[in-house]
Structure 1
């Protein structure tokens, strides 16, 4: 697909553009309204597969709540059925809320042998709406200081559970990748933070990081990648344990298999293998 189209969609989902302006510019790039409408399903998320996927028999899941910063937070908790104590992982969604895709990722984390908590950051507004444009709008209205505390309290909630071994990590995507970096800065108990194509923490905050970091980026994601050099320089200067990978030919959101135009199966598989290896080394 024309990279200009993917860049336009990235602008639409992150600036964000009004949908009317996005569609107008998409028609200009594709030539006709019919062509634009044929491209659109390849760009926008299709959650049918994730929504229809049955829960693996060896897992349990439930919708839970925990005390946030002046609000009751909601989330999807998925864990192995087998009795035992497991490492806990907070799963941080993209800028649309706790979508079926991120719920599916939460189940994948649990399938690997962890207690996984997909936090709904939009709990402060009653929860994630069905319409993604509404979700993006609400994300922009969050109080970021309160939101950070809500996620930190999610990590504390996991550590307090009797079925948790006390070791916690986090994994975030896009908006959630930026939050994963922030949790690494602000939670000294965090063992591992995995950020997929997320905005980097400020270089001045890097010395506060105690967790091991795993940073995944797509080669074509110029907007996010612009912050890599300063972040990596600060990580090296601070002696922070980190791994950083840039996946050749991959776009922003390359892990999102609900978005055909940007999903990169090879990059997603390799990044996931590396993610699970880090969790195995830090959370078991």
Structure 2
């Protein structure tokens, strides 16, 4: 009598690490990694004694990625004769595909082909195709890669951050491969298990929070079912004042951006710095590992963040101290990109100053009603590559705009808490921004 197959163990979630989707050219790599995980699980759970690998495995995965059935000769697994057979479509019944003696259990049976095809197709490919890797996700990962190549970010921390963005090690490998950074699943897994580095956060304070001429406090307002956290600063005394939405970089609402709000308040504006990770508890929750903030921002649909910013505009417009028809926005790095997107989505915005941010969808540029002051650093070649396209789009849409590129300045040159801070460029840019806001927000 054949030995009875042991009671099947609860099925593992084989796509537990598949939390991030990639562009179509990278889906084959995703499936290849995932198929290797399936092979490992099959070896443990079903007593597989051998695997034929090589180029045939890649061919199979490519066919699965295209939604085609597996062809003869791919993925020869050697199963014991007592492996249970489950019902499969006629095209995938034992003997329909594969090689080997069916009575001995040697070779890849039709049902086995179907099992692997079905698992890859249903459990993984559907997850991959649910969304594509967003441009803001890619923007953040490419910024990390740039910092790694420039020696500003250790390799282990770069790998750890990539795992955070991917949601697991399985998809971190193809992401890294797409960036031209060779690695192994083992190296990535080891980096993922490491602790976050201890980094002292510079305060970046130029205007004290207790300045007697200002009112400054944390506030909350609703954006759908999200209680959005934000920092509000405005002059004490008579109003109403023009207002500016301040949008942080990809590390969240740090003290530097609260300080920018107070700088604007000292000039007579009400300024609201919105925390775009409010839906995940807010920036203070992640102060021991700000890479988690970056990962949350990358994975959050841009439309959701724009909705929070629009709610911030509405919140300002409802304040007695604010002149509701004089609203502007300023943002930096990731926040520069969100400033662009807010300008395309809110016709009430009269002026916007995106600093070295990624372009918005160019098809949305004609929706911009605000006067745009776009600020860049000469050495920030990755971001500057997008200038010609957005300039042409604004010219064709007749958007009032000015583009300024500061010589010798790099990405993040305005942030006085990081090493790329350029004091001369930052002073010149601030003067230009304040003159821009004076022209479009304070003048009649």
Same fold (TM over 0.5): yes
- Partner deviation per Cα, 1:72-126 (whole Å, 9 max, x = no partner): 1010100001221001111000001101111111111111110000100111011
Q: Which residue of 2 aligns with 1:202?
A: 361
Q: 4+ runs of 1 displaced by more than 6 Å? A: none
Q: Which residue of 2 aligns with 1:35?
A: none
Task: Check if 1:225 corresponds to 2:370.
Answer: no
Q: Which residue of 2 aligns with 1:31?
A: none
Residue 175 of structure 1, aligned match among 311, 330, 334: 334
Contact in 1 for aligned 2:204/2:416 (Cα 8 Å): no
TM-score, normalized by length of structure 1? 0.84
TM-score, normalized by length of structure 2? 0.55
Residue 401 of structure 2, aligned match among 227, 242, 256: 242
Q: Which residue of 1 aligns with 2:281?
A: 126
3-state DSSP of counterpart to 2:246: strand
Residue 160 of structure 1, aligned match among 313, 318, 333: 318
In the alignment, structure 1 segments of 5+ residues that lack a partner are 26-39
The 2-side partners of 1:276 and 1:52 are apart by 16
In the alignment, structure 2 segments of 5+ residues that lack a partner are 1-144, 163-180, 182-196
3-state DSSP of counterpart to 1:147: helix
Query: Whose relative contact order is higher, 1 or 2, with alpha carbons under 8 Å and at least 6 apart?
Result: 1
1:99-114 mapped onto 2 (5 Å cutoff): 99-114=254-269
Deviation at 1:149, TM superposition (A): 0.6
The 2-side partners of 1:20 and 1:72 are apart by 27
* Structure 1 residues 219 and 45, CA gap change in structure 2 (3 angstroms): farther
* Greater fraction strand: 1
Structure 1 range deviating more: 127-136 or 85-94: 127-136
The 2-side partners of 1:9 and 1:67 are apart by 41
Structure 1 range deviating more: 227-236 or 129-138: 129-138
Contact in 2 for aligned 1:190/1:210 (Cα 8 Å): yes
* Structure 1 residues 256 and 278, CA gap change in structure 2 (3 angstroms): same
Contact in 2 for aligned 1:69/1:146 (Cα 8 Å): no
Q: Which residue of 2 aligns with 1:73?
A: 228
* Structure 1 residues 176 and 116, CA gap change in structure 2 (3 angstroms): same
Q: Which residue of 2 aligns with 1:269?
A: 427
Residue 61 of structure 1, aligned match among 216, 226, 248: 216
Task: Check if 1:17 corresponds to 2:169.
Answer: no
Deviation at 1:18, TM superposition (A): 2.5
* Structure 1 residues 110 and 214, CA gap change in structure 2 (3 angstroms): same
Contact in 1 for aligned 2:351/2:440 (Cα 8 Å): yes
The 2-side partners of 1:7 and 1:250 are apart by 19
Contact in 2 for aligned 1:12/1:19 (Cα 8 Å): no
- Bigger Cα Rg: 2
- Partner deviation per Cα, 1:29-69 (whole Å, 9 max, x = no partner): xxxxxxxxxxx99xx77424539945322111111001113
- Partner deviation per Cα, 1:242-283 (whole Å, 9 max, x = no partner): 010011110100000001x20001110111011111111122
Deviation at 1:215, TM superposition (A): 0.5
Contact in 2 for aligned 1:12/1:18 (Cα 8 Å): no
